[in-house]
């Protein structure tokens, strides 16, 4: 049985890994794992960035994709370096998922994700909540699929 959420994102499920260029200038190895929960009512997203030299994890994240009543994606997320947030989908091309929401400390986060074939691209940015300037550097991640989701994994 599929759900509206899985109808749109089933091809995103699995584990993805690739290089991340952080907005602050350093690089790391990023891994995303997307798993359906409760029969596909939500998708759990687990993220970890590893230091390339030491292989130690340097950032950790967690979140859930779900749909609101109008069918737009809601992503409640946690990152150990920014805390907690609820992001809501913003208009974009049909194959692109763009999200935005407030962070603690009068900041706003926006995230843009896309899966094309076996490549998952993501860019994100944090900016002051009271300015609309778009000149802050973004974090860019380009990942390749390393494992498909297998039913029963969750």
Partner 1 sequence: MTPRVADYQRWVGTWTGEGGTQAGQKTLIRQTFSLALDGTGLEMHFEAFDTSLSVMFHGVRSMLAPAPSGVLRALAYSTIHGPLLLELMPDDEGVMALSGDSQSGNRISVTFVEEAPDTLLFTAFWRGPGEPVAGDDTPRMTCRLQRCRPWAPQGP
Task: Please report whether residue 15 would count as binding partner 1 according to CB under 8 A.
Answer: no
CB-based contacts of 5, cutoff 8 Å, min separation 6 = 40, 41, 42, 43, 65, 66, 67
CB-based contacts of 1, cutoff 8 Å, min separation 6 = 39, 40
> What string marks each residue from 93 to 132 as x (binds partner 1 by CB under 8 A) or -?
-----------x----------------------------
Tell me the C-alpha distance between 74 and 53, whole Å: 35
Among 81, 92, 106, 148, binds partner 1 (CB under 8 A): 81
Tell me the C-alpha distance between 92 and 86, whole Å: 18
Q: What letter would DSSP give residue 38?
A: G
Among 57, 114, 121, 123, binds partner 1 (CB under 8 A): 57
Total of residues contacting partner 1 (CB under 8 A): 24
Task: Please report whether residue 77 would count as binding partner 1 according to CB under 8 A.
Answer: yes
Q: Which two tokens stand for residue 26?
A: 């350093």
Contact 78, 84 (CB under 8 A): yes
- Residue with Cβ nearer partner 1 (71 or 118): 71
Among 86, 96, 116, 150, binds partner 1 (CB under 8 A): 86
Q: What letter would DSSP give residue 11?
A: G
Q: Which two tokens stand for residue 2?
A: 């599929």
- Residue with Cβ nearer partner 1 (62 or 142): 62
Residues that bind partner 1 (CB under 8 A): 37-38, 41-42, 44, 57, 60, 62-64, 66, 68, 74-78, 80-84, 86, 104
């Amino acid at each position: 049985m599929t759900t509206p959420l899985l109808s749109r994102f089933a091809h995103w499920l699995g584990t993805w890994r690739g290089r991340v260029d952080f907005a602050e200038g350093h690089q790391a190895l990023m891994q995303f794992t997307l798993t359906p929960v409760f029969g596909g009512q939500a998708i759990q997203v687990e993220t970890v960035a590893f230091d390339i030299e030491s292989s130690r994890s340097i950032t950790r994240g967690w979140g859930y994709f779900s749909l609101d009543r109008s069918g737009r994606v809601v992503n409640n997320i946690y990152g150990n370096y920014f805390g907690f947030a609820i992001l809501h989908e913003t208009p974009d091309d049909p194959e692109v998922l763009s999200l935005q929401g407030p962070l603690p400390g009068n900041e706003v986060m926006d995230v843009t994700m896309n899966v094309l074939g076996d490549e998952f691209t993501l860019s994100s940015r944090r900016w002051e909540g009271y300015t609309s300037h778009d000149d802050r550097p973004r974090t860019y991640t380009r990942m390749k699929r390393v494992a498909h989701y297998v039913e029963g994994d969750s």
